[in-house]
Structure 1
Amino acid sequence: MLIQGAFHLLWFSVAVAVVTAENTVIVDTSFGKLQGVETTARNGHKFLSFTGIPYAKPPVGALRFAKPEPHPPIDGVFDATKPAEFCPHPTALLYIDDMPAGQEDCLVLNVYVKQLEHGPQGSAPASATRKSTTTTTATRKSGTGPIGDKKKVVVWVHGGGFMAGGATDYPAGTFVATQDVILVGINYRIGILGFLSTENEASVGNYGMWDQVMALKWVKDNIAAFGGDPDDITIAGESAGGASVGFLSIVPSTSGLFTKVYPMSGTGTSVFATAVDAQDHAVDVAKSTGCLDKELTLDRKLTLEESEKMMSCLRDVPVEEFQKLAPFSIDRAQFVPRVDGDFLPLHPSKLLQDDNYLDSIGFFDRTYLFSVTNSEKAVMQGAVDATEAGINGQEGVSGADKTAQIGKLYNNTHRFYLGSRLNIASPPGDLVDKAVSWYSRRLTENQLSTLVSDLTFIIPTYDYLNALARSKTTDAYFLYFNHYPGYMQGKHRGIVHAADLLYWFDIELEKWEKLLHVGIDGEFDEEDLNLQMMFTDLVGQFMKTGNPWHGLQEVLPGGWPSFDLRGNHYLDFGPKPVVRRHLEKDKKDFWLTTVPEWASSYKSGVPKSFY
């Protein structure tokens, strides 16, 4: 918020916030003047909302399937009072009737803040409720926030399997109003437009990840204008957002952009989050959209010339054609981040083993909080059930053929998840059988969804915790959201995947049920409301101090130790939080010790690495 004026000094500038008669407020940033609006959170508290702020040029034309370019500074006043557009979703995934299909010009972010401070000694805030236009000023040092305490900042990366979702799905009014922090929600390209890759220079991929990096840079450069501390930023995300945050914490391009990291229900080693055979999936899209002959059969990789010709065609395809495709199956990962040697130098599992590399990018210099929920597998079971229903719903197909298709699906899914976990393209069949047998002996049902869930959530979380525990100076905290709310009225109980977000954001339960289809029916009771206050205090204190226990001192007087290799401490978080040790120890030992030992017993060269 640097502007030249009568109070200009060598090391100081004037910060100006203008509150208008329509309860709007204008913030002057180095990017330009942004007009936001005062609104009311679900708990009745007032806060300021700035939405739809473009941080990158529209990724259309030549910028489709290309790294983002910074949006130029804005002339005049930008209207940041309108809801942010979604990035294009596959239309088959639009479960909610009023969810827009999205548009390509979607690289925007939202900023939510309780109020803007002003005054020479951090005096009264600029109130957006005033009924006459008012100009207030605050003197500050160049590159810092307003005089007084700078607000802590969290950048929120939405989930949705890298193919759905958007920043607007996560209203944060209650959180920012009660914690007096700033939350920035970001959009990034998803699905085909965000991650299609030819595995060569024609389309490297990872565009959605580069979008996230650019958004972080925008926040670093401009958040001081809102009163935020650009030198103490937390990044957080859930599911695909958690995986994104995990990636951002282990790549060189984000060095210096944040100080704290909070991945929820996913990390950079989650199996669904790393693409395999990306060029094959790009070819499928090209065939579906007329950019390659549908009858073309390839037993080799495309040449660079062939790839460039294909990409030239794909840049002219109407976005609606991409949206007709539904790039999801439980037995593969496509149109998600990939190891490209640029954004992601090596597979995350390898990067996490290299302490010299991790030290060089500042991995150990940050503070971490990780969380999973007690019913993560419900979302995986839903995907399995939906896939089986689709197979069984085929007309003109015999029951035996349907059974065979389901059996093949299970086998392919087991092979894909085990192979991806072990970083081998074709895991030996008997190795797959041994892993499946281990689950079958412990479970009478839902073996597939449990195995898939474990390799998506709990085991990847341990990958990061174990790497961080090798440092004697890095704090990493582990939270297990273990609550059984009364509003869960279907066959699933507990906190299903993404239900923990109901305790952070002002998300309507009815909307979440339309999205998750898990039997949510009812409202928060007093226990849920108390749990919500504890959770937002916990997250807020993590942002402010780096220690989430500071938000729980009254209910957890004994403290919350950070994770280490000996203690394996975690917080069993529910109405009565308690510190425990060794969450899912049997699965942790199986995947981190037993299975790698089995794999190493095979002769060299049998499992062929695809990285």
Structure 2
Amino acid sequence: MLFVQKIIPCLAVLIHIISGGEQESIHVRTNYGTIQGYRKFYNGSSVNQFIGVPYAAPPVGDLRFRKPKPPQLWDEVYQADSFPPSCMQDLLQNDAWLIPNQNISEDCLYLSIYVPGNNISLSNKSQKSVMVWIHGGGFTAGQSSTFDGSYLALQGDVIVVTINYRLGLFGFLSTEDEHARGNYGLWDQIAAIEWVHENIDNFGGNKSSVCIFGESAGGYSVGLHTVLTQNRGRIHRAISESGAVYSPRAVAQQSVVVAGRAARSLNCSTSSNKVIINCLKTISASALLKVQGDAAFGFQENETFINRLGPVIDNELILQNPVDILRNKSSPSYEFFKELDIMAGTNNAEGGLMYWRMMKYQQPYSFNISEGIPQKALCDIVAPAAASGFSAYRDQISKAVCDQYSVSDVSLADQARSTVNVYADIQFIIPTVQTLDAHSEQTHGGRSYQYIFTHEPSFTWIQDRPPWLRGANHAGELPFVFGLDHFYPPGRDKPEEERKLSDTVMTYWTNFAKTGDPNGAGNSSLPEWQEFNPESRAYMNLSLTPGPGRHLYAERVVFWTETVPEIMQPPLANPSTTNIPGDDGNNGSILNISFTLLLSVLSFKFLVH
């Protein structure tokens, strides 16, 4: 980012009170100009909010499909009092009540800052730790405005920053060459982190104590940032919720095919990648968004778990598959990864995301998905799909998955829970364990912590869940991280025991952000959260009665990290690399796990032993 004139620290903050009103306005000088935020009150405590601050120039016109540029300096006071539009996406109507601005735009690179404090002065000597939130949404949806950082900021006396970043084709279209390398959304995140590093001291923040945290696609993003040396000195801790750097979804595949499909849908010539990008830059944002679904997800209806629109290996920002990066223990990326404090975890019903994907098989397999999933559907559909990425070993691994996840002589509901665990394990559980094993394998370096969130909320953010799904679905922990008063609808009952759990989660999270230890620096009434290492694999079970444990889902972890690699030994003479369907979409898998997972399980023992 370009250098601009630095502001003298003692002149960083000016404050005045709006005449005739109770709301106080706050002026803070940043490197780009003065912004005006407002102080709001939550249960008697105040939070200074700066909403919709530009951290980059609008990525429009010739800046589409390019790395972000710094924002222009402004002379007038910038009113940081309203949420910007969401980045280009199809807004989910179920979440509309949580999104204060229902507009979408390419001009969306803004962040919001939540600073706790009853004092009028935002002294740059307060040195509060900073938490930067990266939202989820599969790299195609989501916005910072869904997340009010006020309650978390107050609970832990930290500064919370939430950011927007480009999504879908706008954030991740790639021709995998110099014409469009991709990863613009990741570059946006880096630019936002850099903005925080350059400016947060003017808000009373400590730029030497920055924790990034995110969920789902935000969790994958956090994981990727832990191996990107561009972040050295700018981030110090990381929390990945339901998304780890080892996950098959952390890196997208076949981006060139997606770009070509989008171009053809919009009548652009595909004679060269340069022609494709030049044409797509002239297309209206609404037209480009309209073709995004078919371009990225229209290969085949049931092929849903390959990520085709997200971060890519671009030979500039991401030089290798993250698994390969972490195998090279002498690389700068590995050294950076090791020096960070890392917390990572999952929910115990992540597999609920598979519920919708299995609906189409009800008639052919004669079952009602609200009652469960039969073993035959596991063995005929899910197991072969889970094994499809292993190509030459597909039949052996498919049988092993069928045997491992079959539940004999029990109800369809029990079999359903075990069946969806195939997806949960491949995408979330196993990659999280692998990430923490790689991070904690040596005694030197940052600290490692694992959690499992198991409480089924009284209000579920992701609606339409089957009766047999027990526990916390994907994203189920979010109301407890940001506060029930924000995430539960107005008028919705907020049970006292859930409020207590939310306080516990927010305290663990902010303790970690401040010290690298969720237990905090002093005495705590919370259950002690033990550090993770490859021998103990200690974790914290976050439920209404939190408590420690060891070796989470040990049998399933052993299956994917030991049994599956053993099946592939000795290697076949000429095993093919992988089976990824091409543009014609002829592969019939529901999961079609990427080659990333194959690399992960093969390299796992080398990483931790």
Q: Contact 1:255/1:361 (CA < 8 Å) preserved in 2? A: no
Alpha-carbon distance in 1 for matches of 2:377, 2:257: 20
Structure 1 residues 54-453: aligned runs within 5 Å: 54-90=54-90, 93-97=92-96, 100-115=102-117, 125-126=119-120, 146-147=124-125, 149-292=126-269, 306-324=272-290, 325-326=292-293, 327-328=296-297, 330-357=304-331, 361-385=335-359, 418=387, 426=391, 428-442=393-407, 444-445=415-416, 449-453=420-424
Distance across 1 between alignment mates of 2:400 and 2:448: 30
State whether residues 88 and 101 of structure 1, in contact with CA within 8 Å, keep that contact through their aligned partners in structure 2: no
How far is the alpha carbon of 1:72 from its aligned partner? Answer: 2.7
After TM superposition, the structure 1 stretch with the greater mean CA deviation from structure 2, 440-449 or 314-323, is 440-449
Q: 1:257-290 deviations in whole A, cap 9, x for unaligned? A: 1111100011122222321111111111112222
1:401 matched residue in structure 2: none
The alignment's TM-score, normalised by the length of structure 2, stands at 0.81
> What does the per-residue CA deviation read over 1:479-523, in whole Å, with 9 as the maximum and x for residues that have no partner?
11122444469623322111211012146688789xxxxxxx953
Letter in 2 for 1:562: E
Where does residue 12 of structure 2 map in the other structure? Answer: 15
Q: Which residue of 1 aligns with 2:28?
A: 27
Q: Select which of 464, 487, 491 maps to 2:435.
A: 464
Aligned equivalents of 2:133 and 2:285: distance in 1? 26
Count of residues in Structure 1 that have an aligned counterpart in Structure 2: 539
1:148-195 superposed Cα distances (whole Å, 9 cap, x missing partner): x31000000000111110100101111112322100001111111111
| CA-CA distance at 1:209 after TM superposition | 0.7
For residues 419 and 188 of structure 1, do their structure 2 counterparts lie closer, same or farther at Cα, with a shift above 3 Å needed?
A: farther
User: Cα 1:578–1:313, aligned 2, differ >3 Å: closer, same or farther?
Assistant: same
Amino acid at match of 2:562: T
Q: Deviations over 1:525-558 (max 9, x none)?
A: 111011111111111111112110238955446x
Is 1:481 aligned to residue 483 of structure 2?
no
1:335: how far off?
0.9
Change in 2 beyond 3 A, CA 1:567/1:512: farther
Q: Which residue of 1 aligns with 2:39?
A: 38
Partner Cα separation in structure 2 for residue 384 and residue 137 of structure 1: 52
How far is 1:601 from its partner?
3.0
Which amino acid is the alignment partner of residue 402 of structure 2? Answer: S
**Cα distance, 1:412 vs structure 2:** 8.6
Tell me the CA shift for residue 243 of structure 1: 0.5
The alignment's C-alpha RMSD in Å is 3.1
Question: 1:357 offset after TM fit, Å?
Answer: 1.7
> SS of the residue aligned with 1:57?
coil
Give the counterpart letter for 1:606 in structure 2: P
Q: 1:374 deviation in Å?
A: 1.8
- For residues 197 and 603 of structure 1, the distance between their equivalents in structure 2, rounded to whole angstroms, comes to 34
CA contact (8 A) 1:36 1:51 kept: yes
Q: Structure 2 stretches of 5 or more lacking a match?
A: 298-302, 365-375, 408-413, 579-594, 597-609
- Give the equivalent residue in structure 2 for 1:601: 570
- Quote how far apart the aligned CAs of 1:227 are: 0.2
For the pair 1:530 / 2:507, whether they are aligned, the reply is no
Cα separation, 2, equivalents of 1:87 and 1:587:
38
- Cα offset, 1:598, TM superposition: 2.1
User: Residue 12 of structure 2: SS of its match in structure 1?
Assistant: strand
1:20 maps to amino acid: I
Change (3 A) 1:153 1:417: farther
Judging changes above 3 Å, is the alpha-carbon distance between structure 1 residues 537 and 192 closer, same or farther for their aligned structure 2 residues? Answer: same
Q: Secondary structure at the match of 2:272?
A: helix
Aligned-partner SS, 2:11: strand
**Structure 1 counterpart SS, 2:240:** strand
What is the one-letter code of the residue matched to 2:277? M
Write the distance in 2 (CA, Å) between the matches of 1:331 and 1:501. Answer: 22
Aligned match of 1:546: 516
Higher mean alpha-carbon deviation, 334-343 vs 226-235, is at 334-343
| Cα distance, 1:417–1:552 mapped onto 2, change above 3 Å | farther
1:577 maps onto 2:542 in alignment: no
Structure 1 pair 485–212 and aligned structure 2 pair: CA distance change class (3 A): closer
Q: 1:331 to 1:536 in 2, by over 3 A?
A: closer
Superposed displacement of residue 85, structure 1: 1.9
Q: Residue 331 of structure 2 aligns to a residue in which SS? A: helix
CA contact (8 A) 1:482 1:573 kept: yes
Find the aligned partners of 1:413 and 1:247 in 2 and give their Cα distance: 28
Aligned with 2:514: secondary structure? helix
Give the deviation of 1:377 after TM superposition: 1.4
Q: Within 2, Cα distance between the matches of 1:523 and 1:587?
A: 37
For 1:280 and 1:359, the matched residues in 2 are separated by: 29
What's the CA shift for 1:438? 3.3
1:110 counterpart letter in structure 2: S
Question: Is 1:499 the counterpart of 2:476 in the alignment?
Answer: yes
Is the 2:85–2:103 contact (alpha carbons within 8 Å) kept by the matching residues of 1?
no
Q: Quick check: 1:155–1:183 contact (8 Å CA) kept in 2?
A: yes
- Determine the C-alpha separation between the residues in 2 that align with 1:567 and 1:230: 33
Instruction: Report the 3-state secondary structure (helix = DSSP H, G, I; strand = E; otherwise coil) of the residue aligned with 1:548.
Output: coil
Shift of 1:607: 2.8
In structure 2, give the amino acid aligned to 1:455. Answer: I
CA distance in 2, matches of 1:261, 1:482: 21
CA distances 1:106-159 after superposition (whole Å, capped 9, x unpaired): 01111011138xxxxxxxx21xxxxxxxxx696xxxxxxx23x31000000000
- In 1: Cα distance, 2:393 partner to 2:571 partner: 9
1:564 aligns with 2:538: no
Give the secondary-structure state (helix, strand or coil) at the position aligned to 1:355. Answer: coil
**Are the aligned partners of 1:352 and 1:358 in contact in 2 as well (CA < 8 Å)?**
no
Return 271-280 or 156-165, whichever deviates more.
271-280
Q: Is the 8 A contact 2:208 2:236 kept in 1?
A: yes
Give the conservation status (yes or no) of the 8 Å contact 1:152–1:229: yes
Amino acid across the alignment from 1:285? A
CA contact (8 A) 2:479 2:488 kept: no
Q: 1:62 to 1:512 in 2, by over 3 A?
A: farther
Aligned amino acid, residue 583 of structure 1: L
Checking the alignment, whether the CA contact within 8 Å between 1:428 and 1:607 is kept in structure 2 is no
| Aligned partner letter, 2:218 | G
C-alpha displacement of 1:86: 0.7
One-letter amino acid matched to 2:518: P
* Matches of 1:115 and 1:288, distance apart in 2: 52
Aligned partners of 2:219, 2:165: CA distance in 1, in Å? Answer: 14
1:97 Cα deviation from its structure 2 partner: 4.9
User: What letter is aligned with 1:375?
Assistant: A
Are residues 67 and 408 of structure 1, via their aligned partners in 2, closer, same or farther at CA, if it must alter by over 3 Å?
farther
